[in-house]
Amino acid sequence: MEHRIESDLNVSKQETERLYALLANAGYQMEDCATIAPLTEEINILKQIDGVMALAHHYMTPDITFAIADYAEDALGLIRRAESSNSNVILMCSVVSLAECVKIACPDKKVLCSEKQAGCSVADSITAEDVAGLKAKYPNAPAVAYVTTSAEVKAVSDFVVTSANVRDVIGTLPAKQILFYPDHSMAQSLAADFPDKEIIGWEGTCVVHDNYTIEQVVNFRKQHPDAHVLFHSEVNPDLYVHGELTGGTNAMMKYVADHPEVNSFFMVTECGLSDQLRTRYPGKKFIGTCSLCPFMKMISLENILDCLRTRDSAKYEITIPDHVLVGAVKAYKNTEQLLGHTHDGC
Ligand code: SF4
């Protein structure tokens, strides 16, 4: 027994050191790493035993992104990783609407989400009945759903897009009148980018990206004239002229990678992205305020461990009724066909 305790302590010490090497640049102290080491250690063992691939959205906390996730990506990247994975069990470290999207793209895989209450202010703003009402009012307008919607909403939509491909889809559709929902800021931005089309939007707002104001960004630029300001596409489009880039999280990360000459950045999005970049680029400064997503932050090492330990399918598995799955897969395929290539539509 004494031998076992000594060996457990040694393993935890090694895990603490591994975590510190990964997380120190994100502000984790050695004591923080010692506290979470037993959790990350057991999660990684259980993942291996059960052949689980863990995929994390960029907005997860660094202990998830760096210590237990196999990959951290934006929505489109998560789907591509799940589709190309040999693993039949995908643990999605994200809100439920994104986990559902992976289930739609990979219906034969088991998809787990460790907190099925993790909603989203954008996704929860619209229902399938609301879409039916829009379609009845605008019968000739194709219905384009943003990835951040429920499976039921996707199932009654014609196309499903992410921030990475929405402009390709809107630009390719011949219709002059297009329904785009539910994010209000994105619809406004699309209306400005496609003046020859009428974009009919919805009133969904993101509790993270809707918080930013022009004054905040203008003041930041005065104080940090050399910093580059990068906006997420869900930010109010009136702010875009004050920054160097607007795009999804992968586009924002690519901009940082492609600009080695720039030393400081203001990432106008959820805090998780700046945490990741601080860890990847310790020589650069990521300054300015960030905003926490209360829904993404419902995913924790504790509930991930419980999900893998208990294997409680009723509590953690993402299931989608067949008729909803069929409709959502069709919207996904329509997007692939429209763009002429695969894996770009969920
Ligand atoms: S940041 Fe949070 S609230 Fe905003 S779209 Fe993503 S999950 Fe939804």
Q: Give pLDDT tens digits for 29-80.
A: 999 999 999 999 999 999 999 999 999 999 999 999 999 999 999 888 899 9
Ligand 1 contacts CB of residue 152 (under 6 A): no
* pLDDT value of residue 346: 41
Q: What is the DSSP letter of 138?
A: S
pTM of the model: 0.89
Q: Does ligand 1 have an atom closer than 6 angstroms to the CB of 206?
A: yes
What pLDDT is attached to residue 175? 97
Pairing of strands 285-286, 264-268: parallel
CB distance 296 to ligand 1 below 6 Å: yes
Residue of 185, 181, 175 whose CA lies nearest to 160: 181
Same fold across 123-159+166-201+321-339 and 209-292: yes
d(CA 114, CA 22): 23
143-146 and 177-181 beta bridge pairing: parallel
Close Cβ partners of 45 (under 8 Å, ≥ 6 residues apart): none
Cα–Cα distance for residue pair 61/29, rounded to 1 Å: 15
The answer to whether 89 and 110 have CB atoms below 8 angstroms apart is yes
Q: Across the chain, where does the E strand assignment appear?
A: 52-57, 71-73, 89-93, 110-113, 143-146, 159-161, 177-181, 198-200, 228-232, 245-247, 264-268, 285-286
Q: Is 207 touching ligand 1 by the criterion CB < 6 Å?
A: yes
Residue (of 314, 270, 318, 294) closest to 91 by Cα position: 318
Confidence of residue 340 (pLDDT cuts 50, 70, 90): confident
Alpha-carbon gap, residue 146 to 209, rounded angstroms: 15
Q: What residue ranges do the domains of the chain occupy?
A: 2-120+297-316, 123-159+166-201+321-339, 209-292
Question: Helix or strand or coil: residue 110?
Answer: strand
Q: Which fold has domain 209-292?
A: Rossmann fold (3.40.50)
- 282 vs 26: CA distance, rounded Å: 9
Residue 99 pLDDT = 97
pLDDT digits (tens, 9 = 90+) for 240-268: 999 999 988 889 999 999 999 999 999 99
Q: What is the CATH T-level fold of the domain 123-159+166-201+321-339, as seen in this structure?
A: Rossmann fold (3.40.50)
Model pLDDT for residues 67-114, shown as the tens digit of each residue: 999 999 988 889 999 999 999 999 999 999 999 999 999 999 999 999
Confidence of residue 126 (pLDDT cuts 50, 70, 90): very high
Ligand 1, from 61, 97, 126, 148: best to mutate by most atoms within 8 Å of Cβ? 148
Quick one: fold of 2-120+297-316?
Rossmann fold (3.40.50)
Q: What is the pLDDT of residue 152?
A: 98
Distance between CA 117 and CA 21 in Å, rounded?
32
